[in-house]
Amino acid sequence: MARDRPPLRLPRVRRPPLEPLELYTAKSGDEIIDQLYNFTDKGDRSVALCPEMTPTLARLVAAPERQYKKPIKWFSIPQLFRYERQQKGRLREHFQFNADLFGESDPAADAELISLLIDSLRAFGLTSHDFVIRLSSRNAWQEFFVKRCRDSAKAGEFYQIIDKLEREEPAKSNARLAALGFSLTEVADFIKAGQPSAELNSILHNLALRGLSDFVKVDYNVIRGLAYYTGVVFEAFDKKGAFRAIAGGGRYDHLVRVISGGKVDLPGLGFGMSDVVLAELLKERGLLPQCEARLDAFCLIEDETLRGDSLSLIQSLREAGYVVDYPLVPAKADKQFKRALEAKASYTIKLERAPAGEIVVKFKNLRTREEKVVNPENVAGEMA
């Protein structure tokens, strides 16, 4: 991003880490409980530490007292929890960037959301050589399914098999597919053909207009595990295929209706991006942002009779916005200087009494090791 500016002020959603357990069982059944960090609280309520943000958002947009303007575009960065064994790229606790859009069923909304995901990853310095969005469609898979199977109750199980296809032994997948009346070959052929549906074509065209074609491809291997997806689904992957999915999302046009008990019907779509895989990828590519503590100046206090004047200068520099540290108590000169280096200070400043009695500042650039003598009131100007 070319322009240097303050953080964007977009509608950010914050909420408590707890939700009623039924928010998750309502849409996924009781089997979801195994994966939740749930408990009974002091008030005898069944609650869970949030495993994902989407049901919470669906609950919030459905609140009848809120007259949110549509379309609603929200982001959030919740801390989320799973009750399961830790794996590489999948921890029991993680932060997840969520972006969601409610109130628009047109594929233009899907394209808008996917372009946000692409731009978010590019903001970290990742390029089309680093990642790709694999775009798929539950609708296309549903069409495939209903053409071959009339028992719609089996659709969920079928999607689960497709979701595991890339991670499971082909023989095992084939056996599970055969039990539903499908063959692995016809499934593989459908994936290989990768014929974009009308909605996928619309999204691809929209992204092409934005110059983002290099970042996206149709790939029916993607179907997403969660039950609530209804339309387009997608996952972002590193191009080397060395990591788990960086991000994933899609349409969930029925979720608000289910969660509001039929009171509110609002199409929705969104994606989540966990800090875990993203950080692994950025680290591997040398793109992890440096979050080291930064120090503009370390004030050396070698003459304790000048501590008061030093504190006064330090305070004025801090009020001018500089980060300044100093030894809280008397310390040896070499120990102080070592501390300034450890803290990666840009400068050291040291008050001294000049022969004529006035106080001067020895001002040293720790990168160039250049040193000069300045008046106390000119120190801020020297650092600017």
Q: Which residues bind a second copy (CB under 8 A)?
A: 1-5, 8-11, 16-18, 37-42, 49, 69, 71, 79, 83, 93, 104, 106, 108-109, 112, 115, 119, 206, 209-212, 291-294, 308, 311-312, 314-315, 318-323, 328-329, 339, 342, 384
First to last CA, the chain: 25
Nearest-approach distance from CB 320 to a second copy, in angstroms: 5
Side chain identity at residue 356, one-letter code: A
By C-beta, is 307 or 362 nearer to a second copy?
307
Nearest-approach distance from CB 321 to a second copy, in angstroms: 3
DSSP tag of 12: B
By C-beta, is 11 or 181 nearer to a second copy?
11
Give the 3-state secondary structure of residue 293: coil
CB 233 within 8 A of CB 222: yes
The residue to which tokens 């040193």 are assigned? 371
Nearest-approach distance from CB 222 to a second copy, in angstroms: 24
Whole-angstrom Cα distance, residue 276 to residue 292?
19
By C-beta, is 63 or 311 nearer to a second copy?
311
Nearest-approach distance from CB 12 to a second copy, in angstroms: 9
The tokens describing 151, both together, are 């028992």
By C-beta, is 40 or 185 nearer to a second copy?
40
Nearest to 326 by CA among 134, 308, 152: 308
Nearest-approach distance from CB 108 to a second copy, in angstroms: 5
Sign of CA dihedral 121, 124, 126, 128: positive
**Do you know the residue count of the chain?**
384
Q: How many CA atoms lie within 13 A of 183 on its CB side?
A: 3
Whole-angstrom Cα distance, residue 165 to residue 223?
10
The residue to which tokens 């023989």 are assigned? 171
Nearest-approach distance from CB 214 to a second copy, in angstroms: 13
By C-beta, is 39 or 242 nearer to a second copy?
39
By C-beta, is 183 or 315 nearer to a second copy?
315
